Structure 1
Amino acid sequence: MITLILFCLLPSSFSQTKNQRYFEVIALQIFNTKDIVPKNLSEKQKITITLAYEEGEIPILVICNKQPQINDMISYETIQKENCISDINAYDQKFQNQSISLIKNQKSQAFQKNFNIYQFQSSNMFVGAYSKLQSTYSIFVYIQSLYNCAKECQNGGSCFYGLCECIEGTFGDDCSISGLNIKDQLKLSPDKLYYLSLYSAGSTFQRILSNQIPLRQQCYAEIPFIDQGSLLITNVLQLTYDKIQYCKNMTETLQEEIKIKQNAYIIFKVYSQFDVNILLNNNDNDSLQRIMMMIFIPLCVILFFFLICCCVKFYRQKLEQAQIHKKIEQTEAGNYVNQYMPTIKFSQVKDIIQEDINEKDVYCSICLEQFDRQNDVKVTYCKHIYHSQCLSMWLFKIKICPLCRAPLDEKTLTSLMHQRSQTLIDQISSKSSANNKLKITSLNSLSSLNGPINQNAFQHLNYQRSLVLVEQ
């Protein structure tokens, strides 16, 4: 039944096929290849040799330049020593089918090892299989197009130009082997395959384990055999910058030859009896990213809330000022402040009472900004100058002069005006134009005003001063 199924799946492009079944055999078995004529093989064809396991011990398919001198081919070291090739990943993973393809063109060693596609050497090549115990299997040989994959691509892989292009985390010539990203792990489990994608890793890599364990660590482009390579006993997984760059260069060289996308991997295989915990992730890139995330995220949250609070506070202040301005504007028409202290330009004030303006009077004592000639200002009977809007807002809350605390309530201003039709600035202007007819009596300084006098005495003092300022 298996033979029939494999025959049905054979590509239509081959010209010759041969198969042989081995029933409960032991040791090295020879497959006769005389009926396959390699000299007729074109550059766009390949010979594919497949072993289909049925029952018993899983055998290993081997192809050699000549028949091996020993009858024990179970180890990868022996296969290499005898100058033979095999589908070692499929054998180690105990897959049902093992396949090797032979082509006419020369390919690099990296190409051959990664995809089980080797250069055809001789018509006298040896094809066989070895099993230490009884095994039943079949061997098929057929010629197919160079652009057909010898195996069906697994785990989402795609066939391009006769090769399987695997997605991240899958390995083997048919993408049938799956691994786990070691950057996402908190512990390592026995007989599990882990990988590190170098294009997303930092310049170095290190993991500290809770116990020493036996493991394999290798560049996949250089040694694509999952259960082969040097075995280490250590509690540190460490990759230097040079090792990472070397593996990247190996992968890029392979990718240029095969013309399909390849990811650069360091693979790890654990052979411990129990799970081992990862105590420290000391990858410089990971650590930096985690530290940055630990600092950046809380900082962003704090800054966000601070910004929200500032916006709310600013909005409330603006709203409050707008409400005050609105109230002032609503009452401005009948406001006694505008009646006795109308708004004029600062340039006019300078022309009218220039001799009474000193250096301090060029600044508004409320907002502390310097006056501009076109600024709208108000002048109090105590001859202090303020921005019109600043003084209106000030008097809306408190009815005294900001500088000398002279009373500026309606009753005081009304009592000062002997002609209600005249404003303070009119009276000051008329008296200033009289060529020194108005004589200003000096008053006590602010320090004396802030002395130990009660409020009634203070208001009386300012009242007396106001009478002097407006008196003929």
Structure 2
Amino acid sequence: MISLFSIFLQQCLAEILIQNLVNTTQGIQSTPLNNFCENLLPQNNLKISVTQQSSEMPILAICQDKLENIENFEDLLDSTNDRSNSCLLDYNAYVLKNKTQIIFLSHNQYPTLVSKYYKIFQIEGNKCNAIIYSTTDSEYILTIESFEIDECAEDCKNKGVCVKGFCQCPIGFVGYDCSIAATNIEYNNYFYGFQVQYLDLITLQSVDYTIELNSDISYSIQCYSNSSRLFMPHQIGKTLKIEEDQINLCKEQTLILEQFTKISYYSQFIVVTNTSDVVQYSEYNTEQPQILIVVIVLVTILSLIIIFIIVVYILKKKSSVKQQNNVNQIQYFMPVQQFLSVTDRKSSQKDEQFCSICLELFKPDSNVRITYCEHIFHVNCLQNWMRKNKICPLCRASLDTITIQSKRQDLKSPQKTHILQQLGQQQKNDGSLTSIDGSLTFHSPVTKQLGVAKHSKFLK
């Protein structure tokens, strides 16, 4: 009856079953948890945590039996001893020197890989003890909580997702709650200090993976799905190597973990290194990479500048040639004439008394050009106009190079005599004009104003 009441009270009250401030002396202190383990419901798990309150960090372990021998407890701290004497401890918290250590207890039977990965102590015969080990006098808070097995006892960190009581961590984060950040070893050029790194097996391009270093380094390598504990670096050497058999075994263990938890895991090795000096890959030199990068950057910038100058020069050269060709075409087909000569030789041009571009009156000695459409403009006005517009300002006839060249064919016909050709065949600035057929010569109406000698008229 009392047992049933205890179970009912456990369900109704807060999940925290006990939380005590404990002072301990140097050595080992055991706290029996048999009562909590016996009354634990099948659908619940226990969470045992120890939070450091003094400068000295005590170490928490959960064992099936009491552990009173200090030497046996110190064996648990051996990085190669994953689980011995039916005990389990929060090894990662010990390695990373976290202030809080957590271990979970359950009646449910989990595969060994799962219990190792998520720090789950499987209760056998309702026997469980919390073992606290400290090298000096210390103070800590012991907390015992109960939670449902489908809930995560700790919030999943770093964007991890809780799936049926287990945290699914994104790449680059490990631990039962995704709280341990790891860097990609593929992106590192050197090692320094205490580092936690991962190697994603999916990205491997070769069967064996080997890293050659320029000096010795202390390191440890393990498949993370086999055990979530971070082994303290215990190997020393210049070569970090993972063989094909190890890679295949790690992939198989990851699949087993996925099949039971129904969530996805990354097949990865965790590499823990510790060195007081900078250690680089053997193919790297401490000075050459920086010099090489500077040289490459300078050469690239210089090359871009040279290419830019060449492109600008070519474009300007083409533009200059094009402009010169246009000027030559205009000069050839629309030669410079004096306004007086144009109006006297072609009576139809007398109606045009001002330039349609600048709207100024033509003077007798104004330099003008006449288009093939027989319109007159100041030389400079037409030149500036044609830089932006390739049409006649008056009639909108095309004045582009191709159109002007096509008019050359009309000039070659003996039956057609264009006004431009007529003007080109006449003498300039002599004060007298001759009819196109050469049969008539007459005085310019403005001859007297220009002070030009008179010539007699000749009639047919």
Shared fold (TM-score greater than 0.5)? yes
State the SS of the aligned residue for 1:273.
strand
1:227 and 2:242 are equivalent in the alignment: no
Deviations for 1:16-70, whole angstroms, at most 9, x for unmatched residues? 713443214221111132442535512x311111112211421111111222362
Give aligned pairs, total.
303
Deviation at 1:215, TM superposition (A): 0.9
Post-superposition Cα deviations, 1:163-216, rounded to whole Å, max 9, x if no partner, equal: 222222222112222222212212101211122222233234332211022211
* Equivalent-residue separation in structure 1 for 2:277 and 2:11 (angstroms): 46
Matched with 1:419 is none
Distance of 1:335 and 1:38 partners within structure 2: 119
Residue 205 (structure 1) aligned with residue 209 (structure 2) = yes
Q: For residue 90 of structure 1, give the secondary structure of its aligned residue in structure 2.
A: helix
Q: Does 1:46 find its partner at 2:45?
A: yes
Unaligned 5+ segments in structure 1 are 1-9, 282-293, 340-472
Q: Does residue 175 of the first structure (1) align with residue 178 of the second (2)? A: yes
Please give the per-residue CA displacement for 1:84-142, whole angstroms capped at 9, x wherever unaligned.
11111112211111111122221111111111123322212222211122221122222
Structure 1 pair 38/202, CA: closer, same or farther in 2 (3 Å)?
farther
Q: CA deviation at 1:333?
A: 5.4
Q: Deviations over 1:435-461 (max 9, x none)?
A: xxxxxxxxxxxxxxxxxxxxxxxxxxx
The one-letter code sitting in structure 2 at the alignment partner of 1:60 is I
Counterpart residue type for residue 203 of structure 2: S
Query: Quick one: which amino acid aligns to residue 219 of structure 1?
Result: C
CA contact (8 A) 2:32 2:128 kept: no
Describe the shift of the 1:34–1:65 C-alpha distance in structure 2 as closer, same or farther (beyond 3 A). closer
2:281 counterpart residue number: 278
The answer as to whether partners of 1:63 and 1:125 remain within 8 angstroms in 2 is yes
Establish whether residue 98 from structure 1 lines up as the match of residue 97 from structure 2: no
Q: What is the deviation of 1:260?
A: 2.5
Q: Which residue of 1 aligns with 2:59?
A: 60
Provide the residue aligned with 1:26 in structure 2.
26
In the alignment, does 2:268 pair up with 1:269?
no
Contact 1:20 1:31 in 2 (8 A): no
TM-score (norm 2): 0.57
| Residues 1:145 and 2:148 are matched in the alignment | yes
Shift of 1:259: 2.3
Indicate conservation of the 8 Å contact 2:104/2:121, yes or no.
yes
Taking only the aligned residue pairs, the percentage that are identical comes to 22
Cα distance change of structure 1 residues 24 and 38 upon mapping to structure 2, 3 Å threshold: closer
Cα offsets for 1:350-404 (capped at 9, x unmatched):
xxxxxxxxxxxxxxxxxxxxxxxxxxxxxxxxxxxxxxxxxxxxxxxxxxxxxxx
Distance 1:165 1:79, change over 3 A: closer
TM-score with structure 1 setting the length: 0.55
Matched ranges for 1:390-469 at <5 A: none
The Cα shift of 1:334 comes to 5.7
Whether contact under 8 Å (2:106, 2:123) holds in the other structure is yes
State the alpha-carbon separation in 2 of the partners of residues 34 and 220 from structure 1. Answer: 32
Does the alignment pair 1:76 with 2:74? no
Write the letter of the residue equivalent to 2:165. Answer: G
